[in-house]
A = this chain, B = another copy of it.
Amino acid sequence: MKTLSENKCFGGVQGVYSHASKATNCDMTFGLFLPQEAKFGSVPVLWYLSGLTCTHENAMVKAGAQSWAAQQGIALVFPDTSPRGEGVADDDDFALGQGAGFYVNATEQPWAPHFQMWDYIAHDLPSLLFNNFALDEEAQAITGHSMGGHGALTLAMAQPDRFASVSAFAPITSPTTTDWGQVQLAAYLGEDQANWHRHDATLMMQERGFDGPVLIDQGASDQFLANLKPEALSHAMAARRQDGVFRMQAGYDHSYFFVSTFMEDHVSFHAEALYGLS
């Protein structure tokens, strides 16, 4: 692991690190905010998965999350959204390839050699983090924006003992039925739609749900509503009687101005679940 930068921030440290990932078979970069409490012992950790076109950096500089995480004594992890670098496949479409890993393990060419973002977030990066930083593996929560909201929800429901709580900002909720999803799932996983199933948050909500609280925020003026399909997840949450809150926020769009507006609520929501564990 290599330290690329460390900046003091809200009493803690905002670091950027790179490491050779076994999952993606290339170097990966991530951001990690450690609150000052991490000097004295392990702290809870909130994962933030980013959306299409983002690197580890976007949320780290634009979401304003460190302020609230510092107040709550919680660490923040900002992974990249795909493998990158020479020899890693890419596509002209911004919604496929580098910057658009969709948090799946690709089985198809040319993606399979590196696009193993599910394993990266589910196993590889956690293993690195809990071995190298003062983070409490027993106190994890997860959130994300857009494609990252999709990743947060599908990972949380598939790893039921790992996360105390899950939230999302404007998540892609139904990738098996929308433009942001069908193209990518076919490219990464092949045409057999049985393999897409566990990567659809709405289908997973219908089948399994989440054993903890769920918080979803969606802007009513989001320019990508047709690709996000919030009504699918909202319906599935209510039909399942899922412990959760789905909030439609009048006037907000898909930008980080929306994400940062509601970040305090999300960090507080996760803090309540995380500290309830101990």
Contacts and interface: CB of A to CB of B under 8 A. Distances in A.
B7 A253 contact: yes
Contacts of A221: 8
A255 B66 CA distance: 14
Contacts of A61: 61-62, 256
A269 interface: no
Nearest to A61: B62
Contacts of A11: 261
Among A64, A66, A221, A256, the most chain B Cβ lie within 10 Å of the Cβ of: A64
A108 interface: no
A183 interface: no
A260 interface: yes
Contacts of A90: none
A61 B64 CA distance: 9
A257 B8 contact: yes
- Secondary structure at the A interface, as helix, strand, loop or mixed, is mixed
B8 A251 contact: yes
Contact of A261 (B9, B62, B252, B260): B9
Contacts of A251: 8
**Number of this chain's copies in the complex:** 2
Contacts of A78: none
Contacts of A261: 8-11, 67
B8 A253 contact: yes
Interface in A24-83: 61-62, 64, 66-67
A140 interface: no
A258 B7 CA distance: 8
A257 B14 contact: yes
Given A14-B257, A257-B14, A8 B252 contact: yes
B67 A255 contact: no
Among A11, A221, A255, A257, the most chain B Cβ lie within 10 Å of the Cβ of: A257
A264 interface: yes
Contacts of A62: 61-62
Given A8-B261, A10-B261, A64-B260, 17 more contacts: A7-B253, A7-B257, A7-B258, A8-B252, A8-B253, A8-B257, A9-B260, A10-B260, A11-B261, A14-B257, A61-B62, A61-B256, A64-B67, A66-B260, A67-B67, A67-B260, A67-B264
9 contacts: A8-B219, A8-B252, A9-B258, A9-B260, A9-B261, A10-B260, A11-B261, A64-B260, A67-B260
